[in-house]
Amino acid sequence: LAGDKKVVIVAPKSIVASFGASFPSKYLLIEVEDGEEQKSMQSFTKAIEKLAAAKLDRSCLIIGVGGGATTDLAGFLAASYLRGVDWVAIPTSLAGMVDAAIGGKTGLNLEAGKNLIGAFHSPSAVLIDQGFLSSLSQRDLKAGMAEVAKCGFIDDTQILDLIEDKWRENLSELIFRSIAVKARVVSADFKESDLREILNYGHTLGHAIEKHSKYSLRHGEAVALGLRFAAQLSFEFSGLSKEHLDRQNQILDTLELNAKYPRASWSELLEIMRNDKKMRGGRIRFVTLSALGVPTRLEDISDQQLEKCFLESIGE
């Protein structure tokens, strides 16, 4: 992939500490902070100034090695530098493998909310090595499974069967099936005009919780809470059966993913959701389910109805 190109590796400190010795010394290494801290304007500016200082031209290649935050940053650097250069994603987290690195969404966070600045810029390749997962904590592995489960909730229900049947032993197939779901959806709707929205199931509240927690929760942990909330909305307003509601929540329980969030946070969460990039015409929009594997949309719902579903699903 690199050939004779000048190559830049973007990687967080933890990845450099663990795998940096294996990076070719001739490549320019840009080391960034771990986690969501790297998805700031300050981090982006510092990194892109290094690209310019190295006098790289449009034939260069940027390689993002790390979790979803790193591939988001590396992709946005590639989309922005010289109005677009090639890049490759090497995700090292489960969430990165099945979600963040797939589909060409890149971006940064702003004080107002998550992923409010960014671009659609597909990588030339996504290289997945499941061996990286052995370096993850159990917390990070389980958090990544929230995105896997989401793919089962919105599309491939065989994923749900595999989770219920010893998910750790089925991890390779779960990764493959989750990538297939996202690739199929993104190929049909690259810039999220309609179909791609279904990938946001659980993410409207999930992103708000992630920001509200000051990113103390992993992305998948916050999304798991958002999934429970979205399922309650689906049950109340979109025709999801009680059987399917219970099955979804049981699957999240099987993965030992978060089930509760402070009820006193609701007013702040609602305000954060009002800044969500999925807002249309001043209305908060949600992806919901009419059945497992059958996504739909919900809007024109009152604040009082939203709060009721929050309290009934995850508020404590």
Q: Does the structure show a pLDDT above 70 at 116? A: yes
Give the span between the Cα atoms of 39 and 89, in whole angstroms: 16
For residues 81 and 112, which has the higher predicted lDDT (pLDDT)?
A: 81
CA distance 83 to 118: 13
- pTM of the shown model: 0.92
* Mean pLDDT computed over 42-53: 98
Is the per-residue pLDDT at 68 higher than 70?
yes
Q: Which residue has the higher pLDDT, 112 or 215?
A: 215
pLDDT tens per residue across span 24-33: 999 999 999 9
Residue 137 in contact with residue 115, Cβ under 8 Å? no
> Chain-wide mean pLDDT for the chain?
95
37-47 average pLDDT score: 97
Report yes or no: 101 and 66 within 8 Å, Cβ to Cβ.
no
CB 224 within 8 A of CB 146: yes
**Helix residue ranges per DSSP H, the chain:** 13-19, 41-53, 68-80, 94-95, 138-154, 158-164, 171-188, 203-212, 219-237, 242-254, 266-273, 303-313
d(CA 138, CA 158) in angstroms, rounded, equals: 24
According to the model, what pLDDT value does residue 277 have?
67
Helix (H/G/I), strand (E/B), else coil: 294: strand
CB 95 within 8 A of CB 126: no
**Structure-token pair, residue 123:** 């990588």
Domains annotated on the chain, with CATH:
7-132 (3.40.50.1970), 138-313 (1.20.1090.10)
Distance CA 217, CA 112 (A): 18
Residue-level pLDDT at 173: 98
The residues, ordered by sequence, that sit 6+ positions from 152 with a Cβ below 8 Å of its Cβ are 158, 159, 160, 163, 251, 292, 293
Average the pLDDT over 236-258 and give the result.
98
Say if CB 69 and CB 146 are below 8 A apart. Answer: no
Lowest average pLDDT, out of 4-18, 109-123, 245-259, 274-288, goes to: 274-288
Check residue 282 and give its pLDDT. 76
pLDDT value of position 179: 97
User: For the chain, what's the residue count?
Assistant: 316
pLDDT tens track for 266-292 = 999 999 999 876 677 778 999 999 999
Given pLDDT bands bounded at 50, 70 and 90, which one contains residue 110? Answer: very high
Residue in 196, 181, 89, 166 with CA at minimum distance from that of residue 132: 89
What pLDDT does residue 276 have?
Answer: 77
Q: Which amino acid is at 161?
A: D
How do residues 141-185 score in pLDDT, each as one tens digit? 999 999 999 999 999 999 999 999 999 999 999 999 999 999 999
